Structure 1
């Protein structure tokens, strides 16, 4: 069949199940946008290309597939850079497409050219693959190589550029191939390794399952639930793996922030790690809470990238493959010999439930401004059971780790890179990926919220069921705390405070959203419910106590151990 290059690019993406694209319309790719719209794709134009990248990243997390965004040549592509670096560190398979002027422009010896820079070389360190479609008949091989690289090994972003003279050229090509014809999919582990892992599980006295970010992004919850039930063990969440698996909510504990998690780690004689790099937030699986019983603990790691095995700690049984294929192998191997739960599991479940109830009871109440701990309690109590939770901000997220009363099945936040301002774009992207039906709650700090606040208009335009709960202390709260700890109370806190005149509820109304201003904790949940009922995206401006926000962050000592001397 005869097609244009831009048509073929869409065909190749459709073969991968991709049907969403983010970017700001530009002459370089308006043909692609127009055709994608005709084909029924989600075509979303945000207000900043960095937001487009974050939105695409959220789609990849919610679908388990690669996602696509586009930047126009020069400044548009430059704006993608932050999202590109974020996707690299967050291990997100995002395909960044960049427009460019005709290649002859690059080869001319000229000065003072408009909207032009040699782009590709700027992004080499930030992507897994960097290529340009120089000739029309390279389209298939380059797009497929990009998908191969984005989804293979440790997932991550790729950058593909097309000069303007190529995008409208004609191709005579067959139908696009399915993924299994040109890249490795559903890779399983060897039968000998599976048998070895199953024997370790059967013989363990106190096994644990350590669930990371990859469990959520591969959409493997159902299979991991079956494995956890066969192992009859607790599930310990890494800080990146904070989505709860349906059916395992009561036995899932956050590493480092739940005493039940710490006890389970200390007593464990086997750790099965899934979807995690065993990085700093879990002390590489060999420091702090892991030190006790280290000599008696065996390790099984399910990892797609063979180059990651044994890097951060020794592994007894590596299971190399796609966890979506490997976990069912383990479940089958254990089917006839399921374990029986130890008495400790029931105790840990009871203690963790009591911990959450006590936190809800003891979070300071009746204050105005609201204590940030109470904000988290009240907001998460009002979280819809079928909702998507998005987190952003420094101090706000730290309070959320400890005080959250919700156990969402989908949580999106920027754990590895720590990139502020991702929250609102993530919320938009996640909602688009889910068909704009499930309620979304963004819990964020005010400074983080302002990075991409223009995307409130995007949310309003798409009429998303999104409520943004904004903890407002009129400051960079986490940094204020740094100043106080470094220089003492009353120190000069340079650059950390801003105007108390700012009203995010009014900003929201200006963008066509619902807005409410809250100063009392008892008003938080009703405001959230009214926002959802309004049928428009909502912003709840909650004034929080700046002193508590900067000085009373819970579990902060635990958080600091991620970076403390000895973890490096």
Structure 2
């Protein structure tokens, strides 16, 4: 007997290490959902296809493999469109399968067809690759091309349409090829370029290792740890690469929001950049803290896409290849002669630790409602006390700005939507990350009410999937960041249309209605105990924390620095 197309698609993704599927099944996909479940895959049906796309993106970030999600023909694909755009901007290799009518129906000249729109043209500008399986024997080549395009160069999403007329057609095909037989895997850089890079590293007096989002999504943390130890230098986080590599926590400093990071950048004579586009949040590696010593600083950039080299700033030694291939090359070349530790490394470590302690001490306490700085301090302290190797998920506007300055935890996985700034991703990201990690590692979502309400229905998904998830929600009944913009734009008092809502909303009570554990907190010394009870409940949980709306909109820390990200074209 032949292999049905829907089974072959699963076979091809299994060869890539994918075993998780997100989406709401429709007639095109019920066979695939049933088969995936029978194989032991995690098959997760959220309450909205947009959530499915975000869940798949989070799963990809946690595994380094492509994410896989499905959209029902017509309205399902319309719903998932936002997640496709987000995956493109976040450089996430998400494969979206879209249902569609049989071509004999689609290509007729008709009006008034139900649940129908020609989808491919709508998505082709938001994906790296778009195609349709028109004939059963195209299945292998189209799925492989989708994965190849998504995982090559700058990662990103692909869209594959699945017309209903080929669902059950059968194929006589061999076993799927392993990835290295049809696409570049762990591509290394040239020997000459590696030698040039190592020579620069060995002669540098004050090198820094700039670690971006791509280090964590490629799951190369252990290799980068080895490289950082051989370089014996500070590790600077980009705003997108805010996870902490185990063993490097004390010497890892977030750019712009850490005085130690900024000092290290200003003094550096070499920057080795990994997994970053050197975009606006990094001031293109040219302005702000990079400016004064720019003429004397050498740059090494590891970049998978050769067309990205030198776009945002000149590069002295480009290493074109996959982090999974290039970083081990650098480690091997440096292993016999590691650098002497940078002279100021210990000083920077002590300064950063002192700064972390200082902001925790100075965060206003004893207020009701709770100051958002204290909300972050107490929540992140509790995260470390209540979890071992937990996953931290961020969401929100003003809330995230407070987290950059006041967070007291350094977990190895921090997930948030930095490039696109897409609010509402937090709860779906938390679900997707937990499922991808086998529902074992505890997850804490630190968010605000405005962002949390986007996809609050996915609390039921978390309950159904029995996830070890605690959502800590700072509630000020407003769009805090936007209220702040109103206040800075107009003389006081001014109207603030569209940014406030009912103060009767109780996130803990809503959570209990979904079957979650709920906690309600009005005092800062109640935050830690509430989070502890939430994790101990054995259920997904929501902790409603009442935060000060005035402080949340007017006292965002280092807001002027945040505004420097928007380098041009803003008010």
TM-score range, shorter chain: over 0.9
Matches within 5 A, 1:351-362: 351-362=351-362
Given that 1:385 and 1:408 are in contact with CA atoms closer than 8 Å, whether structure 2 keeps it comes out as no
**Contiguous gaps of at least 5 residues in structure 2:** none
Cα-to-partner distance string for 1:244-303 (whole Å, 9 max, x where unaligned) = 000000000000001100000000000000000000000000111100111110000000
**1:566 and 1:132, CA in 2 relative to 1: closer, same or farther beyond 3 A?**
closer
Cα-to-partner distance string for 1:358-393 (whole Å, 9 max, x where unaligned) = 111110000000000000000000112410000000
CA displacement at 1:567 relative to structure 2: 9.9
RMSD: 1.0
Given that 1:13 and 1:19 are in contact with CA atoms closer than 8 Å, whether structure 2 keeps it comes out as yes
Cα-to-partner distance string for 1:299-345 (whole Å, 9 max, x where unaligned) = 00000010100000000000000111100100111111111112311
Residue 88 in 1 paired to residue 92 in 2? no
Match of 1:393? 396
Match of 1:279? 279
Question: Counterpart of 1:343 in 2: which secondary structure?
Answer: coil
Question: Counterpart of 2:368 in 1: which secondary structure?
Answer: coil
Question: Counterpart of 2:424 in 1: which secondary structure?
Answer: coil
> 2: distance between equivalents of 1:567 and 1:478?
16
CA displacement at 1:189 relative to structure 2: 0.4
CA displacement at 1:47 relative to structure 2: 0.2
> 2: distance between equivalents of 1:513 and 1:565?
44
Match of 1:207? 207
Question: Counterpart of 2:216 in 1: which secondary structure?
Answer: helix
> 2: distance between equivalents of 1:355 and 1:132?
54
Equivalent residue for 2:505, pick from 502, 507, 529: 502
Residue 127 in 1 paired to residue 127 in 2? yes
CA displacement at 1:489 relative to structure 2: 2.8
Cα-to-partner distance string for 1:27-83 (whole Å, 9 max, x where unaligned) = 111000000000000000000000000000000000001010000100001111000
Question: Counterpart of 2:13 in 1: which secondary structure?
Answer: helix
Match of 2:440? 437
Matches within 5 A, 1:234-253: 234-253=234-253
Equivalent residue for 1:461, pick from 461, 464, 467: 464
Match of 1:482? 485
> 2: distance between equivalents of 1:471 and 1:370?
9
Match of 1:167? 167
Match of 2:153? 153
> 2: distance between equivalents of 1:343 and 1:371?
39
> 1: distance between equivalents of 2:29 and 2:395?
32
> 2: distance between equivalents of 1:332 and 1:173?
41
Match of 1:39? 39
Question: Counterpart of 1:562 in 2: which secondary structure?
Answer: coil
> 2: distance between equivalents of 1:475 and 1:491?
16
Cα-to-partner distance string for 1:412-441 (whole Å, 9 max, x where unaligned) = 000000000000000000000111011100
Residue 187 in 1 paired to residue 190 in 2? no
> 2: distance between equivalents of 1:538 and 1:262?
38
Given that 2:22 and 2:56 are in contact with CA atoms closer than 8 Å, whether structure 1 keeps it comes out as yes
Residue 521 in 1 paired to residue 519 in 2? no
Residue 537 in 1 paired to residue 540 in 2? yes
Question: Counterpart of 1:382 in 2: which secondary structure?
Answer: helix
Given that 1:280 and 1:563 are in contact with CA atoms closer than 8 Å, whether structure 2 keeps it comes out as yes
Cα-to-partner distance string for 1:161-192 (whole Å, 9 max, x where unaligned) = 01101111111111111101111101000110
Given that 1:301 and 1:315 are in contact with CA atoms closer than 8 Å, whether structure 2 keeps it comes out as yes
> 2: distance between equivalents of 1:187 and 1:336?
23
Cα-to-partner distance string for 1:6-39 (whole Å, 9 max, x where unaligned) = 0100000001010000001211110000000000
> 1: distance between equivalents of 2:161 and 2:228?
44
> 1: distance between equivalents of 2:10 and 2:336?
46
Matches within 5 A, 1:267-346: 267-346=267-346
Given that 1:280 and 1:567 are in contact with CA atoms closer than 8 Å, whether structure 2 keeps it comes out as no
Residue 551 in 1 paired to residue 554 in 2? yes
Given that 1:287 and 1:567 are in contact with CA atoms closer than 8 Å, whether structure 2 keeps it comes out as no
Match of 2:476? 473
Given that 2:255 and 2:262 are in contact with CA atoms closer than 8 Å, whether structure 1 keeps it comes out as yes
Question: Counterpart of 1:492 in 2: which secondary structure?
Answer: coil
Given that 1:209 and 1:233 are in contact with CA atoms closer than 8 Å, whether structure 2 keeps it comes out as yes
> 2: distance between equivalents of 1:307 and 1:49?
33
Match of 1:113? 113
Given that 2:395 and 2:425 are in contact with CA atoms closer than 8 Å, whether structure 1 keeps it comes out as yes
> 2: distance between equivalents of 1:454 and 1:392?
16
CA displacement at 1:555 relative to structure 2: 1.1
Question: Counterpart of 2:473 in 1: which secondary structure?
Answer: strand
Match of 1:446? 449
Q: TM-score, normalised by structure 2?
A: 0.99
Given that 1:211 and 1:276 are in contact with CA atoms closer than 8 Å, whether structure 2 keeps it comes out as yes
Cα-to-partner distance string for 1:395-427 (whole Å, 9 max, x where unaligned) = 000000000000010000000000000000000
> 2: distance between equivalents of 1:567 and 1:219?
35
Residue 77 in 1 paired to residue 80 in 2? no
Given that 1:47 and 1:455 are in contact with CA atoms closer than 8 Å, whether structure 2 keeps it comes out as yes
Residue 425 in 1 paired to residue 433 in 2? no
> 2: distance between equivalents of 1:551 and 1:524?
23
Q: TM-score, normalised by structure 1?
A: 0.99
CA displacement at 1:104 relative to structure 2: 1.4
Moved beyond 2 Å, runs of 4+: 564-568
> 2: distance between equivalents of 1:283 and 1:342?
25
Cα-to-partner distance string for 1:439-471 (whole Å, 9 max, x where unaligned) = 100000101000000000000111110000001
CA displacement at 1:125 relative to structure 2: 1.1
CA displacement at 1:490 relative to structure 2: 2.0
